[in-house]
Amino acid sequence: MTGVAAGWQHGGVSDAPDTPNDDGESQGGGNPRLATGISMGLSLGLGLGIVFGVTLLDDLALGMALGMAMGVGIGAALGSVKPSAGADERTEESP
């Protein structure tokens, strides 16, 4: 299992490298935000690439390729941004 998939499966965010155990399986690591950003960028880019490829470029394959490339790049850039220190803290109001 890759580091991204292991981090996604365990539900945690870790910047630790993906180090295999004695059986060769992953112990975690990875960045689920990056995986989510790439997958969302890929699907959004594919959809927009189809629309713009047919309407503006008159070439469906070129539009799909450009859309997916831009979507993955933007998704990876946004997915690799770490939230601020206080973003994950939950505050409870005192009764």
pLDDT tens digits for range 22-76: 666 655 556 777 778 888 888 888 888 888 888 888 888 888 888 888 888 888 8
* CA-closest candidate to residue 36, choices 3, 79, 67: 79
This prediction has a pTM of: 0.51
What tokens were used for 59? 């070439």
**pLDDT tens digits for range 70-84:** 888 888 888 777 766
Both 36 and 59 in a single domain? yes
The phi, psi pair for 39, rounded to 5°, reads: -70, -40
Cα–Cα distances (Å) from 6 to 23, 78, 83, in that order, read: 15, 20, 20
State mean pLDDT over 8-24.
54
Q: Determine the distance from the C-alpha atom of residue 85 to the mean position of all C-alpha atoms in its chain, rounded to a whole number.
A: 20
Range of the domain at 13: 1-30
Q: How far apart are the first and last CA of the chain?
A: 45
Both 40 and 24 in a single domain? no
